[in-house]
Structure 1
Amino acid sequence: MKKVLVVLCLVVVLLAGVFYSQSGKATDVQVNLGESVKFSDEELTNAAKAVKKKVRGFKSIELEELWYTEEESDRVVEDYLKYGKGSTNGIKEENVIVLVSNLKTDAKGGDGSFEPDFLYTDWNWILIRDDSSGKWRVDDWGY
């Protein structure tokens, strides 16, 4: 009985290791959140944390750089509110922020939605929250 339990535990540990090694990586990211008149340092930091968490959910992706500039964010937010999900979800402009990143994929290319062995530059992460005290969540991503 003890042998079966030990073997079962080893299998679980091995499977967890395989799963973890294929998850997206967001641990050694160069982050530059810049200055903002719209958002506090804490709000910017929390948005960056939400992006890192989202990346860990993708397979075979590594987040290399992540940054925020108000000008870039404002431009993408405007399009998001006019033409993207923001045109239908009723979100207010003050509850939308865009962070930009460089990320790369390994030979597997993730779950099939990313090119293998590719460096994506200026990749947008659109985050929303319910109100000024709400948590940021990634609503959309891409170019």
Structure 2
Amino acid sequence: MKKLIICLCFILSIFSLVGCNKGKVSNDIKIEVSESTKFSKEEIDNAIKCVKDNFSFEGSTLTKIWYDEEKSNHWVDAYLEYGRGLENGARAENVIVLLSDFDVDGSGDNPVLEPNTTYTDYQWTLIRDNKAGNWKIDGSGY
């Protein structure tokens, strides 16, 4: 009986994953990167890839993502002084904020996002353990 319950739970979890309507990344997504004294091109590209790979707003399409060092530094300072960075001990050289635009087409069942709307300047805060570490999303929003 225990094996049957475990098998049923496993099957149900697979069906729930198949039914997910993950957000999409536009085929012609616009990517802009300003000059940076803080991060290499590879570091910024890896952060952008992290956001693209994890964009999961149901019924939405990511259309633009960019890095603006001046804006990013402003949001990093706020994150470290008032946000989660205060709690997790992140260091400025291991935090990056990217901005994005995405369209919501209304096809998903997302009670938070307004259907048929374009969200602009949406922020993604990414952190890593050290310079060699992988970026992970620690927060997003306005």
Task: Bin the TM-score by the shorter chain.
Answer: 0.7 to 0.9
Compare the two structures and name the one with the higher strand fraction: 2
Aligned amino acid, residue 126 of structure 1: T
Offset of residue 34 of structure 1: 1.9
Residue 109 (structure 1) shift: 5.3
Alignment partner, residue 70 of structure 1: 69
User: Which string of whole-angstrom CA distances, capped at 9 and with x for unpartnered residues, describes residues 108-133 of structure 1?
Assistant: 45532222111111111100000000
- RMSD (CA atoms): 1.9
SS in 2 for 1:76: helix
CA contact (8 A) 1:109 1:115 kept: no
Which residue of 2 is the match for residue 90 of structure 1? 89
Instruction: Show the 5 A alignment for 1:6-45.
Output: 16=18, 19=20, 22-28=21-27, 29-45=29-45
Per the alignment, residue 5 of structure 2 pairs with none
Give the distance between the partners of 1:124 and 1:25, measured in 2 at CA: 17
What do the CA deviations read for 1:58-83 (whole angstroms, capped 9, x no partner)? Answer: 31111111110110000000111111
- Normalised TM-score (structure 2): 0.81
Comparing 111-120 with 60-69, greater Cα deviation is found at: 111-120
State the Cα distance separating 1:54 from its structure 2 match. Answer: 1.5
State how far apart, in whole Å, the 1-side matches of 2:108 and 2:40 are.
35
Letter in 1 for 2:40: S
Structure 1 window deviating more from structure 2 (111-120 vs 126-135): it is 111-120
More off after superposition, 109-118 vs 40-49: 109-118
Identical-pair percentage: 43
Unaligned runs of 5+ in 1: 1-11
- Taking the aligned partners of 2:80 and 2:109, their CA distance within structure 1 comes to 29
Structure 1 segments (4+ residues) deviating >4 Å: none
Q: Given the two structures, how large is their TM-score scaled by the length of structure 1? A: 0.81
The 3 A distance-change label for structure 1 pair 107 and 27 is closer
Q: Which moved more, 1:122-131 or 1:102-111?
A: 102-111
